[in-house]
Amino acid sequence: MRAKPFEAAIFDLDGVIVDTAKFHYKAWKRLAGELGFAFSERENEQLKGVSRMESLDLLLRAGRITDVTPERREAWASRKNEWYKEFLATLTPADVLPGVRNFLGLLRSCGIKTGIASASKNAPLIMNKVNIGPLFDVVVDGNSIVRAKPDPEVFLQAARLLGVAPGACFVFEDAAAGVEGAIRAGMRVVGIGAEQLLARSHLNITSFEQLEPVFLMSHIGVANHTGLGDGLNE
Ligand code: BG6
Ligand code: MG
């Protein structure tokens, strides 16, 4: 079956637009240290894309910590978030990942709609710090969804607000949970990062600097705008 033409690009935020994934890891590692266990970068991969409280549960499982009261869970999660926000305070517009602004600008000049689909409740703060809001038509984040990735809710809500069918959306994700959620939403996915972690994505890249113009040519068919010859327009 022929895929729908590409009409909208939906981006995860943490680890895709800004390298906040490393701040999440540092803050969780610090909490693990205070609770008396080591927490590796490899173990941290599972936390990417999932909500704050689910991340805490995964961390506690890694540390074999059980029978935690709801009050203590809340207290640990907010402690981690305070440390995380100290890192966020250092963000500036220069922290937007290489190639991102250029790629977003190109998409918009081709008439492609753009959205954010993030699990983070800190998304408004981050977007404000790096001043990226004007490049997106809609933002759906952890403050407006009920079910976290890999549930497709965040992606479907973004597509609905954009007025675009899921099959006409491309998602850009750095987390396995996000890739899974986008696939469940019926969208095509570009995975950013290590291929083995994002095995289910339709295309894998390590940086947005790699994407244009090849991606635009083969998926949008806007070659005439960019002077690159004929696009394929799946
Ligand atoms: C996702 C991150 O974007 O947001 C996860 O990949 C994080 O690591 C989740 O747990 C929730 O973020 P926050 O900022 O609400 O704690
Ligand atoms: Mg991410």
pLDDT band at 8 (very low <50, low <70, confident <90, very high): very high
- What are the beta bridge partners of residue 113? 8
- Whether residue 228 has pLDDT greater than 90: no
Domain positions in the chain are: 8-19+95-226, 21-88
Which residues are CB-neighbours of 113 under 8 A, at least 6 positions away?
7, 8, 9, 137, 162, 163, 164
Q: What was the pLDDT predicted at 226?
A: 40
pLDDT band at 211 (very low <50, low <70, confident <90, very high): confident
Total Cβ atoms within 10 A of residue 230: 9
Ligand 1 atom closest to Cα of residue 77: 16
Please give the CATH topology (third level) of the domain spanning 21-88. DNA polymerase; domain 1 (1.10.150)
For ligand 2, the distance from its centroid to the CA atom of residue 6, given in whole angstroms, is 22
Mean pLDDT of 154-176: 96
Sheet strand arrangement including 8-11: 138-140, 113-117, 8-11, 169-173, 188-192, 203-205
Ligand 1 atom closest to Cα of residue 178: 6
Q: What was the pLDDT predicted at 227?
A: 34
Ligand 1 atom closest to Cα of residue 54: 10
- For ligand 2, a single-atom ion, which residues have Cβ within 5 Å? 12, 14-15, 174-175
- Whether residue 117 has pLDDT greater than 50: yes
For ligand 2, the distance from its centroid to the CA atom of residue 48, given in whole angstroms, is 6
- What are the beta bridge partners of residue 11? 116, 172
Nearest CA to ligand 1 atom 11: 120
Please give the CATH topology (third level) of the domain spanning 8-19+95-226. Rossmann fold (3.40.50)
Q: What was the pLDDT predicted at 65?
A: 96
The one-letter amino acid at 34 = E
pLDDT band at 156 (very low <50, low <70, confident <90, very high): very high
- Whether residue 10 has pLDDT greater than 60: yes
pLDDT band at 221 (very low <50, low <70, confident <90, very high): low
For ligand 2, the distance from its centroid to the CA atom of residue 79, given in whole angstroms, is 21
**pTM of the entire predicted model:** 0.90
Alpha helices (H) in the chain, listed in sequence order: 21-35, 41-44, 52-62, 70-88, 100-109, 123-130, 153-162, 176-184, 214-219, 223-226
- Known catalytic residues are 12, 14
